[in-house]
Amino acid sequence: MVTARSSLNERSETKRAEAMSSAASRARAVASAVKDPEVPVLTIEDLGVLRDVRADADRVTVTITPTYSGCPAMDVIRDDLVLALSAAGFADVEVRLTLSPAWTTDWMTDAGKQKLSEYGIAPPTGRAALGPIKLSLGVKCPRCGSLDTREVSRFGSTSCKALYECRSCLEPFDHFKVH
Ligand SMILES: [Zn+2]
């Protein structure tokens, strides 16, 4: 009897573990598909904003790190996460903001940089992690690929981006600033 009972317990525990991990992977898939409201071709996973997703049955906790403090897009992302996860059947959704370590453009995935460029925004270049001395790498024009570009304004369509101009094709474009 003891043996039968313990194997029953094991079975139900395995079932519970399976249910939890499938809830977690489902929640992860839903959360990672949420778009950046400023650049809708990018998901929050592409941006590196999505830090952690934990799910247990119908309860989800999502942790995100804002791209920089006071970025108004974060409120939209938070609402979108709650909406998307509620629609996917999670009754209890909590979105946590973690500010430390601070987000840097280094967290943007290569797929994200590729999508940004295809969208017409020059992706961040170089590495923010190098510290106070920033490498001033050429910003490539997303239209013609020329490195002969110049900064027109430190602030483009949003404060996350700078406005650039290409000296080859003469087109203005946004550059996602490194920080
Ligand atoms: Zn160009």
**Per-residue pLDDT tens listing for the chain (179 residues):** 555 555 666 777 777 777 767 889 999 999 999 998 888 899 999 999 999 999 988 899 999 998 865 567 788 999 999 999 999 999 999 999 998 888 888 999 999 999 999 999 999 876 655 544 444 567 999 999 999 999 998 877 677 788 999 999 999 999 988 76
Distance 159 CA to ligand 1 centre (A): 22
Q: Using alpha carbons, list the distances in angstroms from residue 142 to 19, 69, 95, 110, 135.
A: 45, 27, 34, 15, 20
- Which pLDDT score is estimated for 134? 47
Distance 146 CA to ligand 1 centre (A): 5
Distance 44 CA to ligand 1 centre (A): 28
- Ranges of each domain in the chain: 2-97, 110-176
Q: What residues sit around ligand 1, an ion, with C-beta below 5 angstroms?
A: 141, 143-144, 146, 166, 168-169
- Which pLDDT score is estimated for 127? 63
Q: Using alpha carbons, list the distances in angstroms from residue 114 to 35, 96, 99, 179.
A: 16, 28, 26, 18
- Which pLDDT score is estimated for 3? 52
- Which pLDDT score is estimated for 75? 86
Distance 114 CA to ligand 1 centre (A): 17
Distance 143 CA to ligand 1 centre (A): 5
How far apart CA 115 and CA 19 sit, in angstroms, is: 34
Distance 142 CA to ligand 1 centre (A): 7
Distance 141 CA to ligand 1 centre (A): 5
Query: Fold for domain 2-97?
Result: GMP Synthetase; Chain A, domain 3 (3.30.300)
- Which pLDDT score is estimated for 92? 96
Distance 111 CA to ligand 1 centre (A): 22
Distance 155 CA to ligand 1 centre (A): 19
- Which pLDDT score is estimated for 163? 92
Q: Angle, nearest 10°, between helix axes 73-87 and 2-32?
A: 140
Distance 169 CA to ligand 1 centre (A): 4
